[in-house]
Amino acid sequence: MNKRHFFKTAAAVAALAAFGTAHAQTAIKFQLDWRFEGPAALFLQSAAKGHYKAAGLDVTIDSGNGSGGTVTRVASGTYDMGFADMAALMEFHANNPDAPNKPVAVMMVYNNTPAAVLALKKSGITKPADLSGKKLGAPVFDAGRKAFPIFQKANGIGDVTWTSMDPPLRETMLVRGDIDAITGFSFTSLLNLEARGVKAEDVVIMRYPDFGVKLYGNTIIASPRLIKENPAAVKAFLAAFAKGAKEVMANPAAGIETVKARDGIINVALETRRLQLAIDSVVASPDARREGFGQVNPGRLSLMASQVSDAYATKTRVDPKAVWNGSMLPTAAELNVLPSAKK
C-alpha cells in the first residue's frame, strides 16, 4: 500500500468513526420552567462547557412558560426531560391518573419552594396574620397562589380575596396599590419590584419555608418512556448537570455568560443577582445541606403529597412513590456540589 492510499484510507476510517460517534450521541430535548433568566445558568453551563456532550448526550435546552406547561409537554412526548415545580408535577399525576406517560421527578434542585408572599412596608403588613381580610394578587397558575392554602393553614390566616392578572402586571399592581400583597418566587418578585422603583428595604418578604411550609420546589423531571428505554442517558444527564451546577455556584458571575449567550438583551447585573438569590435561598439552603443536593426526604415528600392533594383539591390523592425516582442519581461525590455555607 503506498503512502497516499494509506492516508486516504486512514482519513476515511477516521471520518466513519467521527460519523459513528456523532450518531451515538443520545438526543435529549429539555425544557426549562421559565425564560432564560439567572437560574437557567445551572442548566446552560453544562451545554456551554460540553459536559452533556462528553457524557454522550446531544442536549437542546428551550425556555418555558410555567411549570404546568413543562410537565404537560414532557407527558406528551414533546420533550424528554424538563425543570418543573414538584407541586405542579404532583397535581398532574393526581388529576390525570390514567395518563400513559406521567413524568417522574429524578433530581431535586430547589430543595425549598421559592414561593413567598410580598407586601410593601407602608401597607402595615409585617407578618402572615396581617394578611387576613386583605386583597392578594397573582396569576392563577402561580405556584405560591396555588399553595397559599397550605401557608394560610400553617399560619392561621383568615379569608383573603384574590385578584388575577398576567405575570408582567403582578408587581405593578402592588406598587400602584391595587392589591395589598402578592405571591411569587421571592427572588423574582423582589427584583421586579426594585425595577419598578421600590427599595429592597421597603419590601416585606414572607418566604413559605420560613413560616412552616417545607414544600419542595423545582425538580428535574423525565419521561417514564425515556427512563424505561434509556436509564443510562438520564443518569448521564444528571451527572453532567451536577458538574455544571457546581461550577455555576462556585462562580455565578461567569455562569451568567451562558444565559447571555441565549438571550443577549438580559441585564447581566440583575440576572447575576437573581441567580445568587436563588442559590442562597433554595438550592444551597439549610434543608438542602441536611438532605443532600439532588435528594428528597421520604417523610417530607409524603407530607407534601398530602398537603398538595388538599390545597389543590386534586381528583385523586397524590402518591409520593409515583412522582419520585431517585435510582438514577449520580454518586455522592458527584452530588457534592454545594458551595461552602456562608457564615
Position 24 confidence tier, pLDDT thresholds 50, 70, 90: confident
The pLDDT of residue 2 is 53
Mean pLDDT of the region 25-40: 96
Mean pLDDT of the region 181-203: 95
Q: What are phi and psi of 98, to 5 degrees?
A: -100, 5
Say whether 213 sits in a helix, a strand or coil: coil
Classify residue 342 as exposed, middle or buried by CB count within 10 Å of its CB (0-12, 13-18, 19+). exposed
pLDDT in tens, 219-263: 999 999 999 999 999 999 999 999 999 999 999 999 999 999 999
- 22-31, 105-114, 199-208, 256-265: segment of lowest average pLDDT: 22-31
Residues 342, 207: Cα–Cα separation, whole Å: 19
Q: At residue 188, does pLDDT exceed 70?
A: yes
Position 3 confidence tier, pLDDT thresholds 50, 70, 90: very low
Percent of the chain at pLDDT > 70 equals 93
Mean pLDDT of the region 315-336: 97
Q: How far out from the chain centre does Cα 221 lie?
A: 10
Higher pLDDT, 341 or 229: 229
Residues 233, 119: Cα–Cα separation, whole Å: 44
pLDDT in tens, 10-19: 444 444 344 3
The pLDDT of residue 120 is 98
The pLDDT of residue 16 is 39
pLDDT, mean over the chain: 93
Q: At residue 214, does pLDDT exceed 90?
A: yes
Provide the grid cell at 175.
406598587
Global pTM reads 0.90
Provide the grid cell at 125.
403588613
- Is the Cβ–Cβ distance between 235 and 220 less than 8 Å? no
Residues 188, 136: Cα–Cα separation, whole Å: 17
The pLDDT of residue 14 is 46
The pLDDT of residue 7 is 45
Residues 204, 242: Cα–Cα separation, whole Å: 33
The pLDDT of residue 341 is 85
Domains in the chain with CATH codes: 24-112+216-323 (3.40.190.10), 115-211 (3.40.190.10)
Q: At residue 51, does pLDDT exceed 50?
A: yes
What are the E-state strand segments in the chain?
A: 26-31, 57-62, 81-85, 104-108, 115-120, 135-137, 161-163, 181-185, 203-207, 218-222
Higher pLDDT, 156 or 6: 156
The pLDDT of residue 342 is 78
Position 22 confidence tier, pLDDT thresholds 50, 70, 90: very low
Report which DSSP code applies to 112: S
The pLDDT of residue 15 is 40
